[in-house]
Amino acid sequence: MADTKFIGKRWEEMETDVLVKIFKELNMIQLAPVSRVCRSWRLACSDPFIWNTLDLGLLQSNFIQTRASPYIWVDERSDKRLTRILRVAMALSRGNITSMIFHFNLYMKDDHLSYISEWSPHLRRLVMPAWNRITKVGICQAIRRWENLESLTMPSIAHPPYIMEEISRSCKNFSQLKVMGTFDMHFASAIATNLQKLKVLSLRCSIITKEALLYILNRMDNLEVLNISHCLLLEALATSGRKQVRSELDQSILQKASRIREFFHCQSSSCTTCKRMIEDEGLMRWYRYEDWFWRRDEVSTLDLGDYGKLFGKNCVNSLTA
């Protein structure tokens, strides 16, 4: 045996799909030095199989709320950390990310957004963080680059039409929207006017007005899936115009919703999520609850599931250490 020479492949000659399977077990911090070993490893490290989904859902900013616009102060280290993570991710993935997920308590700036849209132009799915520091121009420029965008999850905003108009102009295959927050007539009409091809809409854990819900049901002919689970449904009183919470869906809503292939709703005093909505008076304070809580959705294609290996807890720890 001592005389037998080992005749085998060199590390750099390993089949790419074998390398990719091995590298998929690493997180992005571990991948960075691996990608510098040789050209074939570099190539394997950027494979779409590894980078398909970049889930940064464990990354939050350190912030305090302020009285003046943008109503938030974010510490510089949070911004620098995000810049560093994005640089590593964009350099390694080489445009192969198709799905990006951010924590809603991540306060990115236009610079970050612009950088992502430049280096990941093929996004099909985006779960947006908080809007505060992102300007109208910043988000519209990014959406213009993402012409393959099909699915967007976004915190609710006060003036939604400009985003819906930009999606309508730029993203021809857009079909799935999730709004987290408030859903009123203004929002409903922005969607109905601009996103007629929308197939999936989730408003779970939002405050919605009955008027806005009926507006969507009456006008969105292509809607196949609607989720209003654990929502606070408000109805204006005919006498005073004041809004009161409806404790159950009435026949007019149920009848119109019957044409929708999958209609999810839940208003129950025994449901934990409904109870939390009532305690929070309709504006869910997600940060109070378990880490995974905001990631759930009754619509399977919108549920975010586990964080994955690429940016897991180890990654967060090594960055903050």
Residue 170 vs 273, nearer CB to Zn ion: 273
- Specify the amino acid at residue 312: G
Residues 221-280 that bind Zn ion (CB under 5 A): 230, 266, 271, 273-274
Give the CB-nearest residue to Zn ion.
271
Tell the smallest beta-carbon distance from residue 213 to Zn ion (Å): 16
Q: How far is CA 183 from the centre of its chain?
A: 17
Tell the smallest beta-carbon distance from residue 268 to Zn ion (Å): 5
Q: Six-digit token pair at 293? A: 């809580």
Residue 87 phi/psi, 5-degree rounding, is: -60, -45
Q: Six-digit token pair at 137? A: 């121009």
Residues 13-32 that bind Zn ion (CB under 5 A): none
Number of residues that bind Zn ion (CB under 5 A): 5
Q: What is the DSSP string of 244-269?
A: EEESS--HHHHHHHTTSSEEE----T
Q: What CA dihedral angle connects 35, 36, 41 and 46, to 10 degrees? A: 30
Tell the smallest beta-carbon distance from residue 153 to Zn ion (Å): 19
| Angle subtended by helix axes 136-145 and 110-119, to nearest 10 | 10
Residue 274 vs 310, nearer CB to Zn ion: 274
Residue 124 vs 230, nearer CB to Zn ion: 230
Residue 230 vs 295, nearer CB to Zn ion: 230
Residue 197 vs 296, nearer CB to Zn ion: 296
- Specify the amino acid at residue 70: P
79, 85, 135: which is closest to 108 by C-alpha? 79
Tell the smallest beta-carbon distance from residue 204 to Zn ion (Å): 9
Which residues does residue 195 pair with via DSSP β-bridges, in sequence order? none
Residue 219 vs 276, nearer CB to Zn ion: 276
| Residue 41 Rama label (left phi>0; alpha psi -120 to 50; beta) | alpha
**Rounded to whole angstroms, how far apart are CA atoms 108 and 168?**
24
CB-based burial of residue 315 (10 Å sphere; 0-12 exposed, 13-18 middle, 19+ buried)? buried
Residue 78 vs 273, nearer CB to Zn ion: 273
Chain residues in the site for Zn ion (CB under 5 A): 230, 266, 271, 273-274
